[in-house]
Amino acid sequence: MPRLTSLDDQIVVITGAGRGIGLATATQFAAAGAIVVIGDLDDDVAAKAALQIGGRAVGHVVDVADRASYARFIEFAATLGPIDILVNNAGIMPLSALVDETDQATDRILDINLRGVITGTKLVAPDMIARGRGHIINVASAVGRIAVANGATYSASKFAVVGFSEAMQSELAPAGIDVSCVLPTVVATELAAGVAATKGMRAVEPGEVARAIIKVARRPRFETWVPGWSKGLFYTMNTLPRRVRNAAGHAIGADQALSKVDAAARNEYERRAGGHSDA
């Protein structure tokens, strides 16, 4: 059984932590006794989130798509002490058919969702290796295992995060560093505004994802789905022939989960996703 890690006085760095999953996660880490460093593209949002959480939580601006900005964020966090846990949470999910997606949108999705994870890992790994311990938790998505139309680039970015995490688990384990991947289904945040859950499923709350992340931080494991039962469903379905999987996915509406969305409900998010990175 994996070891049980105390979170007391652990320095936890979380990107995209001004809202949604990130804010819920920061709140729960702080409640568990950790020193939480909240990163958000909007410095005011980060500061307000830290004030809301209280205790030893601090906020700092970070653009995970900009290596220099991410480096300054990590340098700031390191002034509090060695970083114990990095939660790569920042992400965006603009939705459209690929032929309607601008090259700028493609670049932004990949820069934030994938390159940000790689950059964050590069920035914290050397010190963790030197200390012989540390934990990197990457927030991916169920869409990082199950590709869905109208979110091709988003899905590709999350598939890549899962693959990157698997590679880094093997690469960093000999140095005593844990790497974990958390895969939520539809979460009730602004990122998923206007997206309906498939038949038989409900949108999970940010706090549920946060609890899963806290559980992984306490007892490291590689892959965690939220809700937990969705992992079994995925692996069971994956044993079936593709035509059967496709038919089953169509029956519950999974194949159209990102196609039949409430565009009006997503207007504000789609506008903000053009300049922000949170989940």
Backbone torsion region of residue 41, taken as left when φ is above 0, otherwise alpha when ψ lies between -120 and 50, otherwise beta: alpha
User: In Å, what is the CA distance from 55 to each residue of 26, 66, 72, 147?
Assistant: 11, 29, 23, 40
3-class DSSP state of 37: strand
- Are 95 and 106 in contact by the 8 Å Cβ rule? The answer is no
Q: Cα(10)–Cα(135) distance, rounded to whole angstroms?
A: 11
Counting Cβ atoms within 10 Å, is residue 94 exposed (0-12), middle (13-18) or buried (19+)? buried
Total Cβ atoms within 10 A of residue 54 = 9
Q: Of these residues, 70, 154, 235, 269, which one is catalytic?
A: 154
Q: Is 269 a catalytic residue?
A: no
Q: Cα(58)–Cα(86) distance, rounded to whole angstroms?
A: 15
Q: Where in the sequence numbering do the catalytic residues fall?
A: 154
